[in-house]
Amino acid sequence: IGQYLMTETRMSRWYFGGIASCGAACCTHPLDLVKVHLQTQQEVKMRMVGMAMHVVKNDGVLALYNGLSASLCRQMSYSLTRFAIYETVRDMMGSGGQGPMPFYQKVLLGAFGGFTGGFIGTPADMVNVRMQNDMKLPAEQRRNYKHALDGLFRVWREEGTRRLFSGATMASSRGALVTVGQLACYDQAKQLVLGTGLMGDNILTHFLSSFIAGGCATFLCQPLDVMKTRLMNSKGEYRGVIHCLTETARLGPLAFYKGLVPAGIRLIPHTVLTFVFLEQLKKYFGIRVVS
C-alpha cells in the first residue's frame, strides 16, 4: 500500500527551458519581426497590423519568418542559460524541505540568471535584430546573412569580436529584468493561485500565472528594449548607452514605452507558450522525484 501513498512530482531538466522557448519562438516570431520594424521606424507611419500587411505584400508570407534561425539560436543561448541557472538553483534550494524560496530570493536569482543569459545571448540577439531589419534597407545596403551562424561568423570576421558583444550591457540588463518578470513572477503567481485552493496544478493555472508574468516582464523591460533595439541598429549615431538614453528621453517619457502594446502582444503569448510547453515537458519527460 505504501507505494500508492507516495506522491510523484517531476522536476525540470536543465535544458527544458531552452526547448520550451524555441517552441514558443516558432509561434511568436512574426510578432517579434513586426515589433523590430515598428521600433526602428523613425517617424510613426504604420501601426502593428499595417506593418505586418506591408511585410507580407512586399516580400511574401515567409518573410514574417526572416531571421528565425537567429531567433532560435538566441533562445538556445539566452533562454537555455537563464532557465538552467534559475531552475537548477531553485530546485536545489527547494529540495532542503524548507518550502518554497521567498520572493526576494527568486528576484535575485532571476536577475542573476537573466544577466548571465543576456550576456551569452548577445551575439545571437544582434544578428537577430540585423536579420529582421535587413529587408527594410535598400538592396545595396543589405547585409544578407544566409542564416544565424553565417551572420555570427561574418560579424566576427568583418567587425571583430568586440562588435559581437555590442549592446551587451543592455541585453544583460534586459535579460535580468525579463527573467525577474517571467520566472520569479511566474513562480510567485503560481504559488498564490495554488494557495487559494480554487485551482489545481493544471494548464489553466499555468496559463493564468504565465499571463501575469508576461505582463510584469513587458512593463519592466520596455524602456530597455527600446534603447537596446536603437543601439544595436544604430550606424554610430549614439556615442554610448547614456547618449542614447538622453536622446530618447528628449522625446518625452512615453518614448521609452514606444511599442508597449506590440511588445506585450509578443512577450505575453511568448511567456504563456514557454511556460505551458515547459510544464508539459516537465510532466511527461521530467525527472521523477518521489516524495
> Do 101 and 9 have their domain in common?
no
Q: Are residues 98 and 173 in the same domain?
A: yes
Kindly state whether residue 263 falls inside one of the protein's structural domains: no
pLDDT tens for residues 150-196?
989 998 999 888 888 887 887 898 899 999 999 999 999 999 999 98
Q: Same domain for 105 and 167?
A: yes
- pLDDT value of position 159: 87
Residue type, 130: R
**pLDDT, greater one: 32 or 217:** 217
277 in any annotated domain: yes
The reported pLDDT for the residue numbered 2 is: 44
Across 123-137, 213-227, 245-259, the highest mean pLDDT is recorded for 213-227
Closest-CA residue to 260 (of 64, 78, 24, 47)? 47
Looking at the structure, do residues 33 and 86 belong to the same domain, yes or no? no
Q: Is the same domain home to 71 and 88? A: yes
Give residue 281's domain range: 1-65+273-290
* Residue 262 maps to a domain: no
Residue 45 is assigned to a structural domain of this protein: yes
Flag whether 205 is in a domain.
Answer: no
Residue 33 lies in a domain: yes
pLDDT value for 182? 94
Q: How far apart are the C-alpha atoms of 248 and 187, rounded to whole Å?
A: 34
Q: How confident is the model at residue 262 (pLDDT cuts 50, 70, 90)?
A: confident
What is the rounded distance in angstroms from the CA atom of residue 194 to the CA atom of residue 291?
A: 19
Q: Which three cell numbers stand for residue 181?
A: 518578470
The predicted pLDDT at position 3 comes to 44
pLDDT band at 270 (very low <50, low <70, confident <90, very high): very high
- Residue bearing the bigger pLDDT, 135 or 127: 127
Q: Classify 88 as helix, strand or coil.
A: helix
- Structurally, the chain folds into a number of domains equal to 2
pLDDT the model gives residue 43 = 65
Residue 192 in domain: no
Given CA atoms 69, 72, 74, 76 in this order, what sign does their dihedral have?
Answer: negative
- 6 with 56, same domain: the answer is yes
User: Which string of b and e fits 257-289 if b means at least 16 CB within 10 Å?
Assistant: ebbbebbbbbbbbbbbbbbbbbbbbbeeebeee
Average pLDDT on 69-97 reads 89
How far is 219 from 238, CA to CA, in rounded Å? 25
User: Is the domain of 82 the same as that of 19?
Assistant: no
Q: pLDDT-based confidence at 9, cuts 50/70/90?
A: confident
21 located within any domain: yes
Average pLDDT value for residue range 66-74:
87
87 and 14 part of one domain? no
- Our CA angle for 278, 282, 288, nearest 5°, is 165
40 and 98: one domain? no
* 37/121 same-domain check: no
